Amino acid sequence: MIEIQKLYLLVPLAPLVGFIFAGLLGRLIGTTWSHRITIAMMFVCLAASIIIFIDVANGNLYNGTVYTWMTTGTTYLEIGFLIDKLSATMMVVVSFVSLMVHIYTIGYMKGDPGYQRFFSYISLFTFAMLVLVMSNNFLQLFFGWEAVGLVSYLLIGFWYTRPTAIYANLKAFLVNRVGDFGFLLGIGLVLIHFGSLDYATVFDKAPQIASQSIEIVPGLPWMLVSVICILLFIGAMGKSAQFPLHVWLPDSMEGPTPISALIHAATMVTAGIFMVARMSPLFELSDTALTVMLVIGSITTLFMALVAIVQNDIKRVVAYSTLSQLGYMTVALGVSAYSIGIFHLMTHAFFKAVLFLGAGSVIIAMHHEQDMRKMGGLKKYMPVTYLTMFIAGLANIGFPGLSGFFSKDSIIEAVHFSSIPGSGFAYFCVLTTVFVTAFYTFRMLFMTFHGRPRMDEHTKEHLHESPWVVTLPLIILVIPAIGAGWFIETMLFGDYFGDSIQVSSQHDAVVKLGAQFHGIWGMISHSLTTLPFWFLVGGIFIAWYFYMVRTDMPGRIKQIFKPIYNVLEHKYYIDELYSWLFAGGARGLGRGFWKFGDVKIIDGFFVNGSARVVVWAAALVRQFQSGYIYHYAFTMIVGVFVLLSFWLY
């Protein structure tokens, strides 16, 4: 057991060592050794994660403190590990995807002046994410939470000479601070009312405070557990880019493509999903919090998918697809199907990483052109990229037999069986999104790989498949994108997660779903008669008809539905609203403080006003300092009169 505990430390420390070598010693060791060391450390991290996963599968769980760094009263601030099925699964997913991204980066970032710096950043990001998923207390969770936010800021703005990149990373940082403020308030309430930040202690005491209330506004009591859960979920809304805190993620595509796969597919954006699943003993005590999650997730799922329809930037299509899929995961959490949410997190990590990395492969071939309107016909030039992206696209839309099918269909059915308020609205959203997802995914594939080439002759002459360091991660990642969903029976209907996830008896959507499950082949064959499958087929057909047969139709529809198109193109004008309300409001408030508070009150009244009072008083006093004795006598008489008046009256 002692030896396995050393591996617990090795998992996060290995990428940290890679960061130190590439970041601090990068210029000394050069580009080649920078990527060799960081990739070697990621191999170590993945190997250790797999060994730990096997050990946990054999029933060896761990929850212990590594280091106590502060004691205040009866509260201990600790660094520790909670190693169970939930954290072990996340460790394998994070380390595996991160390793593939490290290898891919060799080809994508070749020749970039910040080559070593990029490898150091992604290694540091992996360290922060592993600290987050392995934590056994809220403090360490928050440390990892903020660390991934900080490194994502550095990665999104990696090309810091681009104004758009600077705007994007600042936007990501500020929006996440909004969510993190709510998250911090939630942790503060946990500390106040539970007296501890340790998961086990908090979860054990949770039923005792289930009936307690708190008055945020005097006279308006709220259930304490609902307030805590909603505040924690606000943190998840920021990190996992849920409406209305989603605006940062599409703009973050300004960063290099490898970080899109790492941050926006498998790791940072799923931190919120993981956190809520970890906090299931708390969320199960509040139907209000579950309903909030369900509604927010439903809105994100459908409305972000609709925006993806009008995007022409290949990376932004995948970015809005990620937003929609994160909405699916949040919906699963909202109906207490935490295991299905984590299952979809895992399958999504693989096929979405392929889509992001595949998009990066296309961008390399197109000499960093990202507009799909200038692509077309790439299938014959890039067969490996095309095949892997095609399979990942099928997984993304939930085609029967592929990984996305098992997790996405399970979410839809869980919502169908749920009785939590808002589940009817959620069912409509997730069902409709199936059609929309199929349409925008195949729109992207048809515009990029099929039809006539639309690029310039120079680009066309130099088109070729990406090097092996780019295509190898695609090939490796597409394997779990195909097969990871086949573990559905183990992960969802067995006792896979054990006590890691707790679900109350009245929230029995997964139990009802399990009663309807008749094996993998039964699920596949049954799906062929259900609405999601036919919605999926309909989306593919319409995309084929619009972009392969009647290529004039999208333009005509755009003109007919111009107002709707403008709304989607401007992303529901949420960015404009935030710019007007918050940015404009802040500027207006600052201008008011400046012109009224500073100029009129501080400068005008206190500074200039006091000077004018001194001048006036001096002018008045000067009248009595004339040098004539009768003036002094008169002043004395007036003074005596005033004093007598005060004394007598």
Name the strand (E) or helix (H) holding 81.
Answer: strand 75-83
Q: Tell me the mean pLDDT in the region 123-133.
A: 91
Query: Of the candidates 294, 291, 280, 293, which has an alpha carbon nearest to the alpha carbon of residue 206?
Result: 280
Q: How confident is the model at residue 2 (pLDDT cuts 50, 70, 90)?
A: low
User: How many angstroms separate the most distant Cα atoms in the chain?
Assistant: 118
DSSP per-residue codes, 565-594: HHHHHTGGGHHHHHIIIIIHHHHHHHHHII
pLDDT (0 to 100) of residue 170: 87
Q: Tell me the mean pLDDT in the region 342-349.
A: 90
Residue 624 has pLDDT above 70, yes or no: no
Tokens of 517: 């499950």
Q: Which residues pair with 65 in a beta bridge?
A: 80
404, 440, 537, 552, 557 from 543: Cα distances, Å? 20, 7, 10, 12, 13
Share of the chain above pLDDT 90, in %: 18
The residues, ordered by sequence, that sit 6+ positions from 236 with a Cβ below 8 Å of its Cβ are 179, 183, 242, 271, 272, 273, 275, 276, 330
Residue 409 has pLDDT above 60, yes or no: yes
Q: How far apart are CA 54 and CA 336, in angstroms?
A: 27
CB 240, CB 269: distance < 8 Å = yes
DSSP conformation class of 135: B
Residue 649 has pLDDT above 70, yes or no: no
**Backbone angles phi and psi of 31, in degrees to 5:** -70, -45
- Taking the alpha carbons of 354, 355, 359, 360 in that order, is the dihedral positive or negative? negative
Share of the chain above pLDDT 70, in %: 99
Q: How far apart are CA 400 and CA 488, in angstroms?
A: 13
CB 363, CB 369: distance < 8 Å = yes
Phi-psi region of 480 (alpha: psi -120 to 50; beta: other; left: phi over 0): alpha
Tokens of 619: 């002018």
Q: How confident is the model at residue 483 (pLDDT cuts 50, 70, 90)?
A: confident
CB 513, CB 414: distance < 8 Å = yes
The residues, ordered by sequence, that sit 6+ positions from 286 with a Cβ below 8 Å of its Cβ are 223, 225, 226, 229, 230
**Is the model more confident about 629 or about 314?**
314
Tokens of 212: 């307690």
**Is the model more confident about 211 or about 297?**
297
pLDDT (0 to 100) of residue 530: 86
| pTM, 2 dp | 0.87
Q: How confident is the model at residue 494 (pLDDT cuts 50, 70, 90)?
A: confident
Q: How confident is the model at residue 299 (pLDDT cuts 50, 70, 90)?
A: very high
CB 65, CB 79: distance < 8 Å = yes
